[in-house]
Structures are given as C-alpha cells and as structure tokens.
Amino acid sequence: MTKTWFITGSSSGFGRLLTEKLLARGERVAATLRKVHALDDLKAQFGERLWVASLDVTDTEAVRRVTSRAFDEMGRIDVVVSNAGYGLVGAAEELSDEQIRQQVDTNLIGSIQVIRAALPHLRAQGGGRILQVSSEGGQITYPNFSLYHATKWGIEGFVETVATEVAPFGIELTIVEPGPAKTSFAGGIVRSTPMSLYDNTPAGDVRRALETGSFAVKGDPVKMVQAMIDCADRSPAPRRLTLGSDAYDRVRAGLSKRLAELDAQQSIARSTELDD
C-alpha cells in the first residue's frame, strides 16, 4: 500500500536518497529542507507526489507550522523521518560556545521538536511511524566528536522514553544508527579551531584521519536507505536499526564492555541500599 512520508533534511545525504527512492517506487513525500530549490529536479519529475517546504529545525515555531501544514495538505502521513543534522568536530575545549549551541539546537532540540510536532497528528489519525536518524555515535564515541555524541546519545534517550509514552496510541519509533557512509556528511562537518596541544593525542589522530581522508568509510548509503524503508514495513517496529558491519561490531563491543563494567560493580551497587 502506498505510504506518505515526511522527511527533514532532504537536500542531501540520507534525506535526499530517501526522497528519491520513495518517489521512484510510487510513494508520496513531504520533504523539508533549508533551500527548497535543491529538489527542483525531483519536483519537475514527480509533480504533486512531492510536497516541498523550507524549514530550519532550529526554529521551533516553524517546525510546528510546517509539520501541521504537511499533515493538513497531504491528508495523512504514515512515516515521519527526523533526519536533519550535521557533524561538529573538535576537542571539547576547542569548540566555541556558538558552535556548541548550534549543534545542540539542530541535532538535539531540533529533532525533539520535530517529533513533538508530529505526535498530535499521528495520534489523531490513529498511529504511524517515526524514524529518528541517529548514528553509531549514539551508542559509542570517537575523540573529537564530543558534542555530536552528546546530541545523539541525548536524542536516543528521548526517543526511548517517548516510544513507551505513545505506544498506546499506535505510534511506533525506531532509532536508526548508521555507521560511516559515503554521503555528503563529511562535506557538511563544522570544525573547531585546533589547539596544538592536542596534536599528539587521540583527538589529534582523529582530526588528521578526517583531513587526510584515511578515516574508514565503508557504508553504502543506498543500501542503508533501503533498510530504513524496509524497516517502516516491519511490525512491530524495531527500537533500533544499526546499519553497517563496522557499526554493528563497534556497537556490540561497546555494549559488551559497558555490561562487563556494570557486572563488575554489582556488589557495590547492592551495598548502597537502605538498611532494613
């Protein structure tokens, strides 16, 4: 059955690929992005099946207004994809206050407000799906990505909680955790002003890997997007969708290490109960 999708951050990367693939298979897409002309070619090809609106997710009032208009004009939206976001690279003390605020406003608060704006409409129509694009970086960390990880770990906690709140209304949420993929993500990365004292540290190693292009990127974005689309047809919806062999291995190793550390502290945890 044909679905209607609402996708933020549709001008490039996963958002653009999702829009292209969904339209090609006959579905309808409400696409939002900051520069609407970036989808002129798709609009010319697919006409009324592509609804386009300008949206900066850091503008909360605009998020509510555009989301409401999309639901009103499309009639029903089956799947909401909260995808808008970008990377910020730099050791924690290298980052400026403005860079920190913009990263949090976009990746975390922006994603929260997209989901919040969609919930009343999904509830009113009797349910639907939300895919929140996170990252393997919502489960593990790399030096130099502290603020990016803060937003991804934060949005994952938000989605985990909301999923339990709205399940009675037939609304299901999935956190999508891709590993590094050959998209335009790297081109949109914002970089701090490096401090030389970090040159010979893990942060410096990651910075050089990004600068030289030696940072391993194995993910096929087309296959990842197809997995996202397929996920929307699965019932019940998986809480997480990890994409990429490297992402799977790193997330599994990270979770195993955390579980081992937790188990090692079991006696300490149990010793801190109130006495009977």
Task: Name the CA dihedral angle for 112, 29, 53, 170, rounded to a multiple of 10 degrees.
Answer: -30
Q: pLDDT digit string (tens) for 46-89?
A: 999 999 999 999 999 999 999 999 999 999 999 999 999 999 99
Q: What's residue 184's pLDDT?
A: 65
Contact 152, 87 (CB under 8 A): no
Q: What amino acid positions are annotated as catalytic residues? A: 134, 148, 152
pLDDT of residue 131: 98
Residue type for 266, please?
A: Q
| CB-based contact 77:121 (threshold 8 Å) | yes
Closest of 172, 162, 164 to residue 131, by C-alpha: 172
Reported as a single tens digit per residue, the pLDDT across 118-161 is: 999 999 999 999 999 999 999 999 999 999 999 999 999 999 99
Report which of 112, 14, 8, 102 is spatially closest to residue 51, judged by C-alpha positions: 8
Is the confidence at residue 185, as pLDDT, over 70? no
pTM for this predicted structure: 0.94
Proportion of the chain above pLDDT 90, given as a percent:
88
Read off the DSSP letter of residue 13.
Answer: H
Q: Treating both helix axes as pointing N-terminal to C-terminal, what angle do 60-74 and 111-124 enclose, rounded to 10 degrees?
A: 30
Asked if residue 250 has pLDDT above 70, the reply is: yes
What CATH number was assigned to the domain covering residues 4-245?
A: 3.40.50.720
pLDDT at 93 over 80: yes
